[in-house]
Amino acid sequence: MANLRLQRGDEGEWVTYLQQVLESKGIGPGRVDGVFGEVLESAVRSYQQDNQLTADGVVGDTTWDKLTASTTESLTVDWSELPWLAELAQYEATEDGMRQFLRDRGIDVDVLTGQA
């Protein structure tokens, strides 16, 4: 998000995206409406403070980096509950491969795609 800076008073799609990112992290940004108001500024300050960032309420490069950093280290997957994933790897990585994978499991692909 290099050179993308958001602050109170800004409006638009990037503000909506910021609100959605904060919401996905369990932080209440207020109404997701694309308006950077008082509630969103407070949520940003709180996030910045909790993450040892300068708590100025402005979303610049450092805050964006932290907000959008990968969190795979906290992701735990129980692969035993996803046996179909190993089976999927046996098919071509194409639309036809996916269709065949679904057909082999008894799924009527044509009904799913509205082609029936």
CA torsion 12-18-22-27 (nearest 10°) is -40
User: pTM value?
Assistant: 0.60
Between CA 73 and CA 59 the distance in angstroms is 24
Query: What are 58-105's pLDDT values in tens digits?
Result: 999 999 999 988 654 555 667 677 777 778 888 888 988 888 888 888
What is the rounded CA–CA span in Å between residue 14 and residue 85? 34
CA distance 83 to 51: 37
Rounded CA separation 95/90 (Å): 14
Is the pLDDT confidence value at 116 over 80? no
